[in-house]
Amino acid sequence: MKTYYTPVKEIERKWYVVNADGKVLGRIATEIARRLRGKHKPTFCNFQDNGDFIIVINADKVHLTGNKWDKKIYYRHSGYMGGIKSQTAKEVLAKKPEELIRMAVKGMLPKNKLGRAQLKKLKIYAGAEHPHQAQQPETLDI
């Protein structure tokens, strides 16, 4: 039996809007990552980018369970000795609320060119407005 994969010209990509207001970060991140990869489609192929576009609104109103606002720490390193920096989830939310969702989804995607291409299809906005009305996105309930 031969493995079927969809030719690039025949891949259909839809646009979805996800409202993150009151939702738990990890729960929406897993569904977003699944949709970005295209695992919900019967034509899923792990070496092909056949996922959909996702627009996330109200990213500043996402929730974390337990004491994660103070205990969850995000690290980054400059590459120099002693160049490690850290921020709690509350500090990240105050500065860049979009980055909380972006980092959660990025960790669930492949760590290669394909994963970087799939992450570009994720559009995140802190408020309730987005500039993608022309694509006629559908509402996705998570």
On the CB side of 109, CA atoms within 13 Å amount to 27
Per residue in 78-105, pLDDT (tens digit) is: 999 999 999 999 999 999 999 999 999 9
Question: pLDDT tens for residues 20-40?
Answer: 999 999 999 999 999 999 999
What is the identity of the amino acid at 15? W
**Residues 118-142: what's their mean pLDDT?**
96
Torsion sign across C-alpha atoms 130, 124, 140, 13: positive
User: What's residue 6's pLDDT?
Assistant: 87
Q: How many domains does the chain have?
A: 1
Distance CA 9, CA 134 (A): 21
* Average pLDDT score, the chain: 95
> What string of DSSP letters covers 34-77?
HHHHTTTSTT--TTS----EEEEE-GGG-B--TTHHHH-EEEEE
In a domain, 34, yes or no: yes
**How far from the centroid of its chain's Cα atoms is residue 10's Cα?**
24
User: What pLDDT band is residue 5 in, cutting at 50, 70 and 90?
Assistant: confident
2 lies in some domain: no
Indicate which CATH number applies to the domain containing 17.
Answer: 3.90.1180.10
pLDDT at 1: 77
Q: Is the pLDDT of residue 4 over 90?
A: no
Task: Return the biggest CA–CA distance within the chain.
Answer: 55
